[in-house]
Structure 1
Amino acid sequence: MEGFPLRLKWQGSTAGEYSRDAVAGTEGKPDLLVSSGTNYGGSDARWNPEDLLGASVAQCHLLTFLALAKKVRLDVRSYDDQVTVFVDAVEKVKRVSKVRLAPLIRVAPGTDVEKVREMFVKAHKYCFIAQSLNAEVVMEPTIEVATAE
């Protein structure tokens, strides 16, 4: 089993209004300033749990897709994802209900667009972050073939 240790540090007092700001970090990496979103009393200038969850799903899917594309010899040139995390109340408890991945994927001239789409969908099966969620992951890629230069 692999482990990925990190620390989360918060300081303040909950005797009154309190800060939601904290610092996440791990050995050898820059610290990450975290909070809650402003609708939960936090700061939009810092990463919140919803942002981080969306980034985790999107990054895992990207890396899995790129590995599959390489394996089947697809020449992917760029990938620009617009990720949205949806939070809903389900039985009076808030939860992430859906994560939407909507990348613009640019590929080399002559690339089989349907094969790109197939590998994008297949990546979901092997993305262990997405497979760890109860939330629905909606995938809406746009695939563009680059013009020959």
Structure 2
Amino acid sequence: MTNKLHRYRVRLDWTGNQGTGTSSYRGYSRDHSLSAGTKAPIAGSSDPGFRGDPARWNPEDLVVAALSSCHQLWYLHLCATAGVIVTAYEDDAEGVMEEQPDGAGQFVSAVLRPRVTLAPGSDADKALHLHHTAAEKCFVARSVNFPVAHEPTIVVADA
């Protein structure tokens, strides 16, 4: 069986020209818009620590969101095929980026904290183990060069 290639195309449009372009570091906004086909656009900027708009998504937010979303999608798929009935799923994910004195930086870790609610009678041990399998399968987590930890909580609803 041959590997399949998947392509993802995203368009970025900088919307932060305030009349003088990048004539000075403080003279332009970091605002931009991300779009992909007919999907709703994402309002982007930089982290507020880098003169960005705190009301907009920044690239670092999007990295953590991609990790959380990918894990959740794999987890729900694995639960569905294993007969584990998930009725609610939430995640308070966090990524840590280390900035160096010269301004460069990189993520050094991320932790996902999914809280999963199962239907009464579901197998909590199996549900917990499936987080490990989801972590092994997640396309995004397999693509990053920093550790992604998982601290799941499993709750079985009362009958």
Same fold (TM over 0.5): yes
> 2-side partners of 1:24 and 1:136: how far apart?
27
One-letter identity of the residue aligned with 1:20: R
**Displacement after TM superposition at 1:90 (Å):** 6.3
Query: Where do residues 89-104 of structure 1 align in structure 2 (5 Å cutoff)?
Result: 89=99, 93-104=104-115
- The CA RMSD over aligned residues, in Å, is 1.4
Listed as ranges, the matches of 1:100-119 within 5 Å are 100-119=111-130
Question: For residues 61 and 9 of structure 2, what CA distance do their matches in structure 1 show?
Answer: 20
In the TM superposition, residue 40 of structure 1 has moved relative to its aligned partner by: 0.9
Give the aligned partner of residue 128 of structure 1.
Answer: 139
Gaps of 5+ in 1: none
Q: 1:24 aligns with which of 17, 31, 34?
A: 34
Question: Which residue identity is paired with 1:116?
Answer: A
Which string of whole-angstrom CA distances, capped at 9 and with x for unpartnered residues, describes residues 28-82 of structure 1? 1111100011111101100001111111111110010111111111011110100
Give the 3-state SS of the residue equivalent to 2:132 in structure 1: helix
1:2-81 aligned within 5 A:
2-11=6-15, 12=17, 13-16=21-24, 17=26, 18-81=28-91
Distance (whole Å) between structure 2 residues aligned to residue 87 and residue 2 of structure 1: 28
In terms of fraction of residues, the more strand-rich structure is: 1
- Structure 1: which 4+ aligned runs deviate by more than 3 Å? 89-93
- The count of corresponding residues between Structure 1 and Structure 2 is 148
Q: Secondary structure of 1:128's partner?
A: coil
Shift of 1:2: 1.3
